[in-house]
């Protein structure tokens, strides 16, 4: 039987490798920009990660402005403040440096400068009419994949409780991603764990999503292998260059994969608790990943068996169901090894489960889960994760 019809899209130019961030001054010349604004957070500045970037940009003759008010879960008010500054200063190029929060904020700023209004005017898919300002992304964690996607996930603080919303448009996709694994050297172990599990969640959900394609499959499976092989080593030794390289490449591949398939039930739950409790996104994904996998695996046993094998499990002579279950066990073992906390430890409250389940079931990606998820199913998964 012929493969189903599919589309594969990757509009972002990717430059990958150790030290590639040092070339940013040469790369910006291709944008014919006069003034750039770096969008980042205060932690990135404190860690000294901007120094070489600023040096290279100043050498190019580009005027430079820094907006450092990005929060761990970016908010509409952050985006709108950054857009007001960029408009006032006549910025014509944005550079998102940091984790997904910085890159998503840069996308939001870029679209507001050219389209106007409030970021809340653009929730949903293909709601943007004009191209955003050109955006260069420089990830400093191996996790989000935001450097290569057209999604920006932003907290809507006008709602009570705060809800995570998404803007999705090819018009906000970064033009260039400079992906340098050396920027992740020395990343704290806890942040290595949470961002690494975010990347693994992207890869697993991309591979099992109903919208998966042969191209996204290939990227997702290689991502799972790379993360399974390298996350423990990167967690144990933050200066292991080979492990950092494997994690950054795995995260990048996962980003391109889910950009072309989708995410699913785990992200529905993670975004719900991120909005309600301001939980860091990687941890929010990690704490629910094995429980959503366990619920979903009967929807596609073959694919979960593939995941178990990619994570290094020996599934020879196992039934298909037992092999699929091994994927859940492999993820749980990995989580134990890298110190992923429980939902209760990050503040998830049993009395909020009904509300969280309602929010989860309304997520745009719920239909991509390999097994149908209703509000009552989310209730059961939330409860099981908190036993």
pLDDT grade for 7, boundaries at 50, 70 and 90: confident
Q: Are strands 135-139 and 124-125 parallel, antiparallel or unpaired?
A: unpaired
What is the pLDDT averaged over residues 365-386?
A: 97
Q: What is the pLDDT of residues 181-209, one digit of tens each?
A: 999 999 999 999 999 999 999 999 999 99
Q: Which among 93, 87, 25 has a CA at the least distance from the CA of 55?
A: 25
Q: What is the pLDDT of residues 221-245, one digit of tens each?
A: 999 999 999 999 999 999 999 999 9
CB atoms within 10 A of CB 231: 25
At 207 the pLDDT is: 98
pLDDT grade for 9, boundaries at 50, 70 and 90: confident
The answer to whether 193 and 340 are in contact (CB under 8 A) is yes
Burial class (CB in 10 A: 0-12, 13-18, 19+), 22: middle
Q: What is the pLDDT of residues 259-312, one digit of tens each?
A: 999 999 999 999 999 999 999 999 999 999 999 999 999 999 999 999 999 999
Q: Which among 206, 323, 330 has a CA at the least distance from the CA of 261?
A: 206
At 262 the pLDDT is: 94
At 160 the pLDDT is: 86
Domains, the chain, in order of start with CATH, read 13-183 (3.40.50.1970), 189-385 (1.20.1090.10)
pLDDT grade for 2, boundaries at 50, 70 and 90: low
Whether residue 3 has pLDDT greater than 90: no
The answer to whether 199 and 224 are in contact (CB under 8 A) is no
Q: What is the pLDDT of residues 142-155, one digit of tens each?
A: 999 999 999 999 99
Burial class (CB in 10 A: 0-12, 13-18, 19+), 310: buried
The proportion of the chain whose per-residue pLDDT surpasses 90, expressed as a percent, equals 95
Q: What is the pLDDT of residues 126-172, one digit of tens each?
A: 999 999 999 999 999 999 999 999 999 999 999 988 889 999 999 99
Whether residue 1 has pLDDT greater than 50: no
Q: What is the pLDDT of residues 320-375, one digit of tens each?
A: 999 999 999 999 999 999 999 999 999 999 999 999 999 999 999 999 999 999 99
For 14, 125, 236, the CA distances from 174, given in Å and listed in that order, are 10, 16, 32
Range 233-236 contact pairs with CB under 8 angstroms and sequence separation of 24 or more = 234/142, 234/184, 234/187, 234/192, 234/196, 235/189, 235/192, 235/193, 235/196, 235/337, 235/338, 235/339, 236/189
Q: What is the pLDDT of residues 18-47, one digit of tens each?
A: 999 999 999 999 999 999 999 999 999 999
Q: Mean pLDDT over all residues of the chain?
A: 96
């Amino acid at each position: 039987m012929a493969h189903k019809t599919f589309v594969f899209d990757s509009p972002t130019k990717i430059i990958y490798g150790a030290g590639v961030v040092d070339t940013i001054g040469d790369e910006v010349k291709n944008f014919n920009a006069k003034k750039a604004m770096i969008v980042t957070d205060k932690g990135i500045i404190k860690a000294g990660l901007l120094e070489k970037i600023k040096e290279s940009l100043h050498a190019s003759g580009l005027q430079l402005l820094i907006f450092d008010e990005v929060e761990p879960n970016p908010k509409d008010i952050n985006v709108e403040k950054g857009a007001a500054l960029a408009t006032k200063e006549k910025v014509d190029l944005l550079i998102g440096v940091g984790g997904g929060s910085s890159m998503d904020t840069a996308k939001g700023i870029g679209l507001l400068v050219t389209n106007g209004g409030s970021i809340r005017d653009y929730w949903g898919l293909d709601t943007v009419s004009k191209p955003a300002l050109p955006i260069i992304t420089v990830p400093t964690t191996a996790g989000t994949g935001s450097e290569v996607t057209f999604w920006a996930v932003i907290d809507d603080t006008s709602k009570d409780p705060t809800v995570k919303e998404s803007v999705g448009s090819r018009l906000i996709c970064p033009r260039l991603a400079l992906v340098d694994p050396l920027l992740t050297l020395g990343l704290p172990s806890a942040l290595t764990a949470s961002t690494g599990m975010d990347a693994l969640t992207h890869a697993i959900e991309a591979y099992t999503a109903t919208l998966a394609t042969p191209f996204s499959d290939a990227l997702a499976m290689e991502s799972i292998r790379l993360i399974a092989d390298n996350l423990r080593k990167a967690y144990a030794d933050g200066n292991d260059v080979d492990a950092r390289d494997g994690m950054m490449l795995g995260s990048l591949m996962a980003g391109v994969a889910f950009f072309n398939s989708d995410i699913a039930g785990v992200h529905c739950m993670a975004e719900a608790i991120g909005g309600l409790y301001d939980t860091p996104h990687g941890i929010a994904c990690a704490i629910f990943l094995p429980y959503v996998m366990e619920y979903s695996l009967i929807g596609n046993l073959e694919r979960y068996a593939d995941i178990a094998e990619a994570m290094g499990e020996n599934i020879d002579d196992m039934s298909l169901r037992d092999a699929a279950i091994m994927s859940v066990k492999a993820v749980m073992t990995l989580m134990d090894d890298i110190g992923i906390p429980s939902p209760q430890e990050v503040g998830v409250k049993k009395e909020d489960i009904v509300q969280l389940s309602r929010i989860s079931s309304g997520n745009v990606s719920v239909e991509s889960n390999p097994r149908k998820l209703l509000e009552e199913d989310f209730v059961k998964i939330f409860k099981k994760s908190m036993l």
